[in-house]
């Protein structure tokens, strides 16, 4: 069952038990009023043609500081920061035995450390996933000119830090490079999209986490209901519950009336809610274990086929210097604070994950919402996308 329906079903059942326990959240209850108040307090932009945001690219002027919340992939000889889009590597140099001058010996050790750091950086860079199925090394091996360009970019890497370990008598140098700079070495015509024949399976959020999200974030409940076309199915299930337990008939009728009332209120707020100028798009696939890459493919899942909504072959016109289509984060809060999408991103839940955990899909209703938002702000063309995994 689609994640939208799962969330909606969980929402209604939660509300149902609150109702029969006498919580009275409908009919002018505090929670409902607070929900409406929160939605109405969102920033609303009446302008129909806002100025587009700058493209979300990360280049050599990157700040190489790593936040503890960043999605960072640690490797033996370096690391990949998928949140900020940069690569780091360290090199070590020992003091030469045949040099008596201490300063000269240290200088030679630092030179050796720097050379090793660049060599390590090159190896790490070759392992960067460009798409779900290709790495930088695939293109380096295929075309010698690309190898030369990548090598040139690595030689121009920025020195981040250097230190001398007096205890070990070893010089340490750390260097870094933006993923975007490495990707620019690969002509876009060489980058092949991942296969569109993915076998998708429904991926469900952990139920306890979902309940916490619903109880603590009214926007989740609002967006789930306003974007769903399965209300009749939910009502049918509630009616079946009442048939199985006659004592619930009165409460069930109350709940159905409450749903109708809430839906009307949501429709009234919907026009305002959709006028918010979103600054980016966050795809929540937390827990899916999809491997990060620079140019992932995001699909719209249906029974018949999988339509590409975002990826290197989606037909959208982008800045030629934009190669990293997304950033990656570990948490929703981290995603909302990512410079790529802050200050007010639209958050969408992934609904399906490919069996090979190399791609994911969203519901058709969420795809329509993204396209509607994108018509105003061109967020997809600018790469204003963060994925939470």
Number of domain units in the chain: 2
Tokens standing for residue 347: 């958050």
What's the mean pLDDT in 1-10? 42
Is residue 152 assigned to a domain?
Answer: yes
Quick check: is 67 in a domain? no
Q: Which two tokens stand for residue 184?
A: 């620019």
Instruction: Note whether residue 64 is domain-resident.
Output: no
| Neighbouring residues of 75: CB distance < 8 A, sequence distance ≥ 6 | 124, 127
Note the pLDDT tens digit of each residue in 20-41. Answer: 333 332 333 444 444 334 333 3
Q: Which domain holds residue 122?
A: 72-190
Same domain, 170 and 286: no
Question: Of 190, 221, 255, at which residue does a domain stop?
Answer: 190
User: Are 324 and 220 in the same domain?
Assistant: yes
Based on the domain organization, do 265 and 205 belong to the same domain? Answer: yes
Q: Which of 168, 190, 212 is the last residue of a domain?
A: 190
d(CA 113, CA 251) in angstroms, rounded, equals: 73
* Cβ pair 314, 248 in contact under 8 A: no
* Helix pair angle (3-20, 231-244), 10° resolution: 40
Q: What are phi and psi of 101, to 5 degrees?
A: -75, 120
**pLDDT tens-digit map of 125-172:** 999 999 988 999 999 999 999 999 999 999 999 999 999 998 888 999
CA distance 307 to 383: 19
- My answer on whether 300 and 318 are in the same domain is yes
Instruction: Please indicate, yes or no, if residue 89 is contained in any of the structural domains.
Output: yes
Task: Give the span between the Cα atoms of 61 and 71, in whole angstroms.
Answer: 20
How does residue 182 score in pLDDT terms, banded at 50, 70 and 90?
very high
Give the whole-angstrom CA distance, residue 184 versus residue 170.
Answer: 34
pLDDT for 287 = 85
Please tell me the predicted confidence (pLDDT) of residue 281.
96
């Amino acid at each position: 069952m689609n994640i939208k329906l799962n969330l909606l079903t969980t929402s209604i059942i939660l509300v149902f038990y609150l109702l029969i326990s006498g919580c009275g959240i409908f009919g002018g209850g505090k929670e409902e009023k607070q929900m409406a108040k929160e939605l109405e307090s969102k920033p609303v932009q009446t302008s129909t043609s806002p100025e587009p945001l700058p493209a979300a690219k990360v280049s050599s002027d990157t700040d190489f500081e790593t936040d503890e919340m960043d999605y960072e992939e640690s490797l033996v000889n370096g690391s990949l920061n998928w949140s900020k889009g940069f690569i780091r590597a360290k090199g070590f140099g020992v003091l030469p035995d045949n040099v008596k001058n201490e300063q000269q010996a240290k200088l030679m050790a630092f030179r050796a450390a720097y050379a090793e750091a660049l060599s390590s950086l090159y190896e790490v860079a070759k392992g960067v996933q460009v798409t779900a199925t290709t790495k930088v090394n695939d293109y380096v091996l295929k075309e010698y000119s690309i190898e030369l360009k990548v090598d040139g970019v690595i030689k121009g890497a920025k020195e981040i830090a250097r230190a001398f370990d007096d205890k070990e008598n070893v010089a340490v140098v750390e260097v870094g490079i933006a993923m975007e700079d490495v990707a620019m070495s690969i002509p876009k015509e060489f980058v092949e999209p991942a296969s569109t024949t993915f076998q998708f399976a429904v991926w469900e959020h952990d139920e306890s986490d979902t309940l916490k999200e619903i109880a603590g974030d009214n926007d989740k409940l609002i967006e789930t209901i306003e974007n769903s076309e399965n209300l009749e199915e939910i009502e049918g299930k509630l009616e079946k519950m009442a048939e199985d337990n006659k004592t619930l008939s009165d409460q069930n009728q109350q709940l159905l009336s409450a749903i109708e009332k809430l839906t009307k209120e949501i429709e009234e707020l919907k026009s305002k809610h959709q006028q918010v100028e979103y600054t980016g798009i966050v795809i929540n696939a937390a827990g899916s274990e999809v491997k990060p890459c620079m140019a992932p493919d995001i699909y719209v899942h249906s029974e018949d086929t999988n339509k590409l909504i975002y990826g290197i072959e989606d037909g959208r016109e982008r800045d030629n210097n934009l190669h990293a289509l997304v950033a990656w984060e570990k948490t929703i809060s981290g995603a909302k604070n990512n410079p790529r999408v802050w200050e007010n991103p639209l958050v969408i839940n992934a609904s399906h994950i490919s069996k090979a955990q190399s791609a994911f899909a969203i519901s058709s209703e969420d795809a329509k919402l993204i396209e509607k938002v994108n018509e105003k702000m061109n967020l997809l063309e600018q790469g204003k996308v963060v994925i939470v995994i």
